[in-house]
Amino acid sequence: MDYEKLAQVMRKLALEAGDVIMEIYNSDDFEVKSKSDESPVTAADENADALISAGLRAAFPDVTLITEEQSDSHSEKASTFLIVDPLDGTKEFINRRGDFTVNIAYVEDGKPTRGVVYAPAKDRLFITDASGKSYEETAPFHKDTVGAMTPMSVTTPDNAALLVVASKSHRDQATDDYIGKYNVKDMKSAGSSLKFCLVATGEADLYPRVGRTMEWDTAAGHAVLLGAGGDVIRFDDHSPLTYGKADYANPFFIAYAPGVDLKKA
């Protein structure tokens, strides 16, 4: 893989998809449909998916592409692949809360090594460079020229005063019970893959997810967190969270900054 090209293509496609999404987001009204699993979908999801998929297939025709909005891709199997959630946080989008992202990632041998997470309504863009290091780019963003890039790094957590982030739309008692095992200084909520990025920037130390997610929901944020020195493990046995699973469904997991005194479930 040409990692320089990959970073450039992922970044540009994410920005272009963000424009498509924001055009619909800022419109007076848009239709909300239901997929076969009853989850919501909008033209923003579909249009962004079409744009990203076409761009990735043109640039990397020999790499398997898995995308949330194309169910026929979910039967594809490969240890190394591109994986896309064109609009992560559709509920946030529908409710015009802003916490939605464009997620594009590259998985190698089951591990997400490169990714971009773009939150167009928040003007935040997080990306891994060719070497796999993570940066946050400063807005305004231009498609063909990269702006100021700030290296991202997890902080050293204080286990007596942890900063925790949890889901905004999927918070439940099981999550609260687990968080209750820690000494928490501050608790914040965020939607979509932004939670991984908040750990990666040091704005949070810990993000536990006790709920259903799919690999396209997490791969880009996972890559960004890895590139900032963090990690993601399974909730049940603390083994690494891997990708390319049979149905692309994730187990519960914990994203964290090394140094957190991790508690068992």
> Annotated binding site for substrate: which residue ranges?
68, 87-90, 217
Strand partners, 189: 166
Strand partners, 232: 255
Q: Do the two domains 3-151 and 162-256 of this chain adopt the same fold?
A: no
The predicted structure's pLDDT at residue 169: 67
The predicted structure's pLDDT at residue 260: 98
> Annotated binding site: which residue ranges?
68, 85, 87-90, 217
CATH, domain range 3-151: 3.30.540.10
The mean pLDDT of 42-51, rounded to a whole number, is: 93
Domain segments of the chain as ranges: 3-151, 162-256
**187-215 tens-digit pLDDT:** 998 888 999 999 999 999 999 999 899 99
Cα 251 vs. chain centroid, distance in angstroms?
A: 16
Q: What's the CA gap between 174 and 85, in Å, rounded? A: 26
pTM for the predicted model, two decimal places: 0.95
**pLDDT above 90 for 172:** no
The correct CATH number of 162-256 out of 3.40.190.80, 3.40.50.720, 3.40.50.11540, 3.10.20.30 is 3.40.190.80
Q: Contact 82/56 with Cβ under 8 angstroms?
A: yes
The predicted structure's pLDDT at residue 37: 73
> Annotated binding site for Mg(2+): which residue ranges?
68, 85, 87-88, 217
**255-264 tens-digit pLDDT:** 999 999 999 8
Cα 242 vs. chain centroid, distance in angstroms?
A: 15
